[in-house]
Amino acid sequence: MLNDTHCHFFSTPFYAAVGGDAAIKSLGWDAPGSAEALADRWVAELDRSGVTRAALIASIPSDAASVEAAVRRHRDRFIGLFMVDPTRPDAVDAAAATIDRGLRGMCLFPAMHGYSMHDETVWRLFEIASVRPGTVVSVHCGVLSVGIRQKLGLPSPFDMRFSNPLDLNAVANAFPNVKIIVPHFGAGLFREALMLADMCANILFDTSSSNGWIKYHPGLTLSAVFKTALAVVGPDRLIFGSDSSFFPRGWVRDVYEQQSAVLDELGVGREVREKVFGGNFDRVFRVRKA
């Protein structure tokens, strides 16, 4: 079984926010069409790639509806996550309503939107998650690089003061029933992410992307990252992600193949592989009846 916890749903509203048809043409990417059509294309892509289920991420704060449409259309294949900007005055009420309509988790980007994980609004969002069983919170820490913005020459005025994984310590302890996913092993703040996960049993690492942040750690390899994470965090809290996003590229098989090869190199058993590549996803995102 192979599941993917990190697929961006680059919808028509998403592209509109970065330049619309002109941006798509400049990139040489495929126009997504309707949310339903894009969902169908993702199902066909996952079928070709042997992926059973995937988490689709609404990649701007105002686009939860696109992912909701995809989940409604293919409830057995997708779970939906949506971006929240806690600096918006309606953030808490909108997040609660979105979860109540069926999406399974919030994605927070503190460096992107310029807020601290200690802010009152952030804690209110965690309160919402805590009383809705099965709701997760994904928090992007470390280096934040948005590839599409770079390709289009758009500014990325992010503030890394808010990127430290240790800033999650207090809220993770306050809401131990809420599973918190830290993508990309902390994206450059690996040591801090390990410390956080060692102290807080509700922290999971999402293994997604090329993990290019490794260049900031001289001598570190992806094999060493997995070996250390398995030793400190354990196999039950590592969850595979690809960081796939646009077409015609589709699902990024190279990421899976690289990580699979690393686990082979480390000589982990079948049970560990099954947890990382599928079982942990199914445990965190249990199938809900329609």
pTM of the complete model: 0.97
Instruction: List, for residues 187-217, the tens digit of each pLDDT value.
Output: 999 999 999 999 999 999 999 999 999 999 9
Q: What are phi and psi of 104, to 5 degrees?
A: -110, -5
Count Cβ atoms within 10 A of the Cβ of residue 253 and give its class: 0-12 exposed, 13-18 middle, 19 or more buried.
middle
Mean of per-residue pLDDT scores for the chain: 97
Q: Is the pLDDT of residue 87 over 80?
A: yes
Structural domain contains residue 290 = no
- Tell me, what's the pLDDT at 287? 82
Determine the average pLDDT of the residues in 90-101: 98
The model's pLDDT over 153-195, given as tens digits with 9 standing for 90+, comes to: 998 889 999 999 999 999 999 999 999 999 999 999 999 999 9
Confidence of residue 289 (pLDDT cuts 50, 70, 90): low
CATH of the domain at 232: 3.20.20.140
Residue 289 lies inside a defined structural domain of this protein: no
Overall number of domains in the chain: 1
Report whether 204 contacts 179 (CB < 8 A): yes
Average the pLDDT over 1-5 and give the result.
96
For residue 230, tell me if it sits in a domain.
Answer: yes
Mean pLDDT of 228-243: 98
Residue 94 lies in a domain: yes
84, pLDDT greater than 90: yes
Query: Is residue 58 situated within a structural domain?
Result: yes
- What's CA 207's distance to the chain center, in Å? 9
Task: Supply the pLDDT for residue 164.
Answer: 98
Helical axes 222-232 vs 253-266, angle rounded to 10°: 70
Q: Reduce the DSSP state of residue 181 to 3 states and report it.
A: strand
- At residue 290 the predicted structure's pLDDT band, cuts being 50, 70 and 90, is low
| Residue 230 vs residues 55, 168, 191, 198, 223: alpha-carbon distances, Å | 23, 21, 14, 11, 11
pLDDT at 123: 98
Distance in angstroms (rounded) separating the CA atoms of residues 258 and 193: 22
* Other beta carbons less than 10 A from residue 132's beta carbon: 14
Q: What is the pLDDT of residue 137?
A: 98
Q: What is the pLDDT of residues 108-161, one digit of tens each?
A: 999 999 999 999 999 999 999 999 999 999 999 999 988 899 999 998 889 999
Cis-peptide, bond into residue 248, ω within 30° of zero: yes
Give the residue from 8, 79, 50 showing the smallest Cα distance to 287. 79
From 188, 183, 234, 230, select the one nearest 206 (Cα to Cα).
Answer: 183
Per-residue pLDDT reduced to its tens digit, 45-75: 999 999 999 999 999 999 999 999 999 999 9
Tokens of 54: 């995937």
Confidence band of 266 (pLDDT split at 50, 70, 90): very high
- Calculate mean pLDDT across residues 215-223: 97
- Could you tell me what percent of the chain has a pLDDT over 90? 95
Overall average pLDDT of the 258-281 stretch: 98
Q: What is the pLDDT of residue 55?
A: 98
How much is the pLDDT for 156?
A: 86
pLDDT score, position 288: 75
| Owning domain of residue 83 | 3-284
